[in-house]
Chains A and B, each alone.
Chain A
């Protein structure tokens, strides 16, 4: 592939005119595709030439004086024409495939990159299944548009045109009489296939519903058994199953009527053509050879036409797919490298928020007038209930979202001036719900660093994250694939793997969610140990769920409804009335409560 094909920016296919969009999609492959189309036309010409040769054979060779000398040449002619036709067909297929596959390759690569560069805001509102559907099925529909449908329709049209022109040269009246019912067949086929695709869709929907019912049943099979509801479930499945059968039959009836009725239409046209042609031949208006050639050409015109409707309807669906793909493409990417501030070397990590406001979708304000300052290496604990804005606040730092007003300064420079890539390399995130990739454990740990990492380094990170021993317990150790059969990682183990990943990345700024509510006490201790190895020396933002973390923080921000209602360190905050003081008081009462609780048990006895 040459550079011009790769350099083409697919953004250009975003246009109101869909046909123009298709044409632009062909950029770099246009000549190849035109070649493929021309080639299929030439194949049709060769096919028709076969009938001319047959006519020549019948009229001029048979019964002539020199038949013995001329026969071998005629025979050779048939082979030659088959070769020609074959070569044209082959090159048409090959070039069409090269264009279509090239276009699909370019689309796939572009979409993959595009998706990972779209903003969080986009991903927040787009369901995964929807995106997957578009990047796979719709891209494939476009591939088939060029590889099969456009070429297939071209083939039928060329066959019709070439043979029709050939018929005209044989005999104009005969030619015109031979295509009388063609418009009817063509129009019928379009209507038919439109209806078929509608019924097919209804059928597919039901098929999908059946799978969903089954899937749901199987995931709830314990509930079914626990309530002994087998018969109820069988009835439910039966309803879906019978409906699928009905829709299948409805689709089937379309085909069962279309093909025989067009058989009769086409057959009537053929018989009429044969009658006219044969009469002319008997009268001597046309030669016998002409009649034989005519019989062949008539078949080439009539029978393929029934499929033209199918291709046209499929092509219109391909165009719909183009629309669905361009909807993704027209979204703006998040620019990774825009920004001028790229320090030589790592950041220090001083951060100042000054009157920062942020809204997700221009309607609901999430953060109001956030101001605070911390120095490199300090720990900020964010305290607040669900929906108070903790996560939104930390999501601004890697520039995942854009703040609306105010300023955030990192080492004295406005955050927007740092390129996103640079920022994200400097920030490490440990999420509450860790995400691992279906690769080996080693790959998952080294996922965040862009260099060769030695085994020793990986193991060191794993040890510090208190996960090394667990990994050694897996069948293939560090080379065990996550998600492989028989390997199940608990939530706590996943979390420690992401901590190891972050340790290896060695970021200057750390964002972590220390939620450990779902893990048992032992795991919790291990995670805590891992975090203690991770945090020192890094500016850290902790979404705190534990009082210990909060007490040790250099700065505590108590958030409520997107506002900071209290800030300061532990000593400052416990000496002023407010939420934090109450939290701490309640917290310190826990031991007393426990004592009392246990004592009450003893008193009862």
Chain B
């Protein structure tokens, strides 16, 4: 939930030439589309300007000149131009739109592919919501800039330019008068709009706070009720909505003022033309149609001027968006394959940690000068307090991270000489918080081996002790697990992810608190399957459950990044050290929970 409601800040930056070029470069593979829509939109505004000019000829030459033949000719031109313009309108909507969709598609594809290369460390420090915003809304904004943003600018400029050209052609003195009003319009319009946009930004900010407040209002409703906090919460919320009212009312009436102000400025230009032009007509220097055309051109220029500030602000946002999107694309994976890394096809053999040091943050070492030798086929259990370094050892082993110092050898070969795929494709990992993907149970198990047959999938599920509950589901193996597996219990998810790992038939098997939420009865059930799984495979187990730990060939007690104790269950019990204490505490706790959590039918677990 929290990720979905990730609060997105708004960014803006000044124009940065390099970024702008890189944004434009996104359109490069599709340059015919870009060129096409630029031509279309230029044609549209040129035709538009010319139509106004035709209007002048209609009045002056056809009507005042009493020329019916010319009337037909002018209107025929009108008709042809309308058809041509419609074609151009189709062209620019289609080309611009397609270009936008292509760029969005391309960028998302590129970003997703790049994400696949990034290392765990990147995902550790980057919130999911941040990445999602980059891939979704930022690509949207970049595409907007190259398409509709560029279109708006081109349209605005060509409209103003062609209008000005026609006006100068008709009467240069009067064109001069109008020309003066343009900068005034632009400056007033831009300043005004900036003000309005700031207000709207404020509105959006408060709005996301309101959404956040609602979210807590709903998710925390049981606490609010039990603390009888309703009234005070409402008062706090009302502060927020009152702010919202003020900000959005202000933003709304400021925008309502914008158009009239711009129109009023242009009305002065119209008045000047009517006055001055009227005199000119009287003197015979100008025609009625000229005046009408001028009035037309002024209205015509109003729109681009109005839009300019908005387009500018959007561009700023797009550039900021692009910078963040590019930063994702430019981030370098921490773990990279050496040139010439090989894939021997197997990673069987002894595993050696040789003087390995590791830290996530520079000043907080997790492992220092850590040494460990694991024989091929050995099952090793890691126990010890949270934060002691157990998961780190496993993550290093899988090369999700690499040692900051020292090296890890697989079959006497430094594992950085292997490709990542060589290692990852041979690892089977089951995590405490199992992640399932939307789809059926079957699809989720198949994830371990995409070529597996249905029989193999079901056999893996049986081995994992998952078959029993799966067959009880309404649709069995075809049952949908929901988003992230939300329709299943944690224990069920753990069993499915265990089956997934079993199906993968890995050479290196790793379980990180993999069955912590499985009930005791099921745990006993899958014990056998797991033993068979670990037989002959190098396996690492991080677990609290005693039954899981006890079956290991070797138990390592990891404390503060070092091996505090190392030996078999019996050896360590006799040593009466850390493991002994951990074991006795855990034994009591496990048994006690079993005893207290009576199944409904009154039969006690373990009886």
Quote the shortest CB–CB distance from B449 to chain A (angstroms).
Answer: 9
Q: Does A34 contact B (CB under 8 A)?
A: no
Residues of B within 8 A of A128 (CB): 1, 215, 218-219
The reply to whether the CB of B275 lies closer than 8 angstroms to some CB of chain A is: yes
Are B267 and A82 interface neighbours, CB within 8 A? yes
Answer whether residue B263 sits at the interface, using C-beta atoms and an 8 A cutoff: yes
Q: Which residue of B lies closest to A520 (CB)?
A: B386
Known: A120-B222, A263-B82. A245 touches B574 (CB 8 A): no
State whether A259 touches B93 (Cβ < 8 A).
yes
Q: Contact size class for A?
A: 35 or more
Given A218-B131, A227-B447, A288 and B591 touching (CB < 8 A)? no
Tell me if B75 counts as interface (CB < 8 A to partner A).
yes
Q: Which B211-238 residues sit within 8 Å CB-CB of chain A?
A: 211-230, 232-234, 237-238
Shortest A51–chain B CB gap in Å is: 11
Question: With an 8 A cutoff between CB atoms, is B606 at the interface?
Answer: yes
Q: Does A220 contact B (CB under 8 A)?
A: yes
Q: Which of B425, B438, B595 contacts A212 (CB 8 A)?
A: B438
**Chain A binding surface SS class:** helix
A229 and B447 form a contact (CB under 8 A):
yes
Q: Mark out the residues of chain B between 362 and 383 whose CB falls within 8 Å of any chain A CB in the assembled complex.
A: none
Contact A86 B79 (CB under 8 A): no
Within 8 A of A (CB), among B8-65: 55, 58-59, 62-64
Cβ contacts under 8 Å, B500 to chain A: 227
Inter-chain contacts of A216 with B (CB < 8 A)? 437-438, 483-484
CB neighbours of B504 from chain A (8 A): 227
B169 within 8 A of A: no
CB of B280, distance to nearest CB on chain A (Å): 11
Q: Are B64 and A288 in contact (CB under 8 A)?
A: yes
A 216-251 to B, binary, CB cutoff 8 A, 1 in contact else 0: 111111111111111011100110011011001100
> In the complex, which residues of chain B have a beta carbon less than 8 angstroms from the beta carbon of A362?
none
- Does residue B487 face the partner (Cβ distance < 8 Å to A)? no
Instruction: For A220, list chain B residues within 8 Å (CB).
Output: 435-437, 484
In the complex, the answer to whether A252 meets B98 with C-beta atoms within 8 Å is yes
Give Cα A450–Cα B228 distance, bound, in whole angstroms.
9
B-contacting 9-mer, from A18-26, A187-195, A421-429, A569-577? A421-429
| Given A67-B282, A242-B105, A386-B600, residue A590 in contact with residue B591 (CB < 8 A) | yes
CA distance A129 to B5 in the complex (A): 10
Stretch at the interface among B243-251, B406-414, B535-543: B243-251
Asked if B340 is at the interface of the complex by the 8 Å CB criterion, the answer is no
Contacts of A274 in B (CB 8 A): 58, 75, 78
B182 to chain A: which residues have CB within 8 Å?
Answer: none
Pick from A54, A228, A256: contact of B425, CB below 8 A. Answer: A228
CB within 8 Å for A249 and B101 given contacts A86-B263, A112-B217, A226-B398:
yes
Q: B90 contacts the other chain (Cβ, under 8 Å)?
A: yes
Residues of B within 8 A of A427 (CB): 226
Known: A90-B257, A288-B288. A218 touches B123 (CB 8 A): yes
Q: Which residues of B contact A229 (CB under 8 A)?
A: 447
CB of A7 within 8 A of chain B? no
Q: Is the CB of B275 within 8 A of A72?
A: yes
Inter-subunit contact B210/A252 (CB<8 Å)? no
State whether the Cβ of B356 lies closer than 8 Å to any Cβ in chain A.
Answer: no
Of B454-462, B463-471, B580-588, which stretch is located at the interface?
Answer: B580-588
| Contact A604 B570, CB 8 Å, known A93-B253, A398-B225, A438-B212 | yes
- B260 close to A105 (CB less than 8 A): no
Q: Note all chain A residues with C-beta closer than 8 A to B135.
A: 214
In angstroms, Cα B427 to Cα A229, docked, is 12
Chain B interface residue count, CB cutoff 8 Å, equals: 150
Is A414 interfacial (CB 8 A cutoff)? Answer: no
Partner of B424, one of A211, A228, A259, A428: A228
Does residue A58 face the partner (Cβ distance < 8 Å to B)?
Answer: yes
Residues of A contacting B90 in the complex (Cβ-Cβ under 8 angstroms): 256-257, 259-260
Q: Is A579 interfacial (CB-CB < 8 Å)?
A: yes
| 56-108 of chain B: CB within 8 A of chain A | 58-59, 62-64, 66, 68, 71, 75, 78-79, 82-83, 85-87, 89-90, 93-94, 97-98, 100-102, 104-105, 108
Chain A: which residue is nearest B208 at the CB level?
A: A136
Contact B484 A219 (CB under 8 A): yes
When distances are taken between beta carbons in the complex, the residues of chain A under 8 Å from B437 are: 216, 220
Are B59 and A586 in contact, CB atoms less than 8 angstroms apart? Answer: no
Given the contacts A260-B89, A278-B71, A601-B570, A71 and B600 also touching, CB distance less than 8 Å: no
Residue A602 interfacial (CB < 8 Å): yes
Assembly CA distance A406 to B109 (angstroms): 64
Contact B260 A89 (CB under 8 A): yes
Q: Is B607 an interface residue (CB 8 A)?
A: yes
Q: Is the CB of A116 within 8 A of B225?
A: yes
Task: Decide yes or no: A219 and B128 within 8 Å by CB, A123-B221, A226-B429 being known contacts.
Answer: yes
CB distance from A514 to the nearest CB of B (A): 10
| A268 and B86 alpha carbons, distance in the complex (Å) | 12
User: Which residues of B have CB within 8 Å of A582?
Assistant: 604, 607
Residues of B within 8 A of A (CB): 1-4, 55, 58-59, 62-64, 66, 68, 71, 75, 78-79, 82-83, 85-87, 89-90, 93-94, 97-98, 100-102, 104-105, 108-109, 112-113, 115-117, 120, 123, 128, 131-132, 135-136, 207, 210-230, 232-234, 237-238, 241-242, 244-245, 248-249, 252-253, 255-257, 259-261, 263-264, 266-268, 270-272, 274-275, 278-279, 281-282, 288, 292, 295, 385-386, 398, 400, 420-421, 424-425, 427-429, 431, 435-438, 447-448, 450, 483-484, 497, 500, 504, 569-570, 573-574, 584-585, 587-589, 591-593, 595-600, 602, 604, 606-607
Pairs across A and B, CB under 8 Å, 7 listed: A82-B267, A90-B260, A215-B4, A218-B123, A222-B431, A385-B599, A583-B598
User: A222-B400, A288-B63 known; 7 other A-B pairs, CB under 8 Å?
Assistant: A108-B241, A112-B213, A233-B116, A263-B82, A278-B62, A425-B228, A586-B606
Nearest 7 CB-CB pairs, A to B? A93-B256, A86-B260, A82-B267, A97-B252, A267-B82, A260-B86, A252-B97
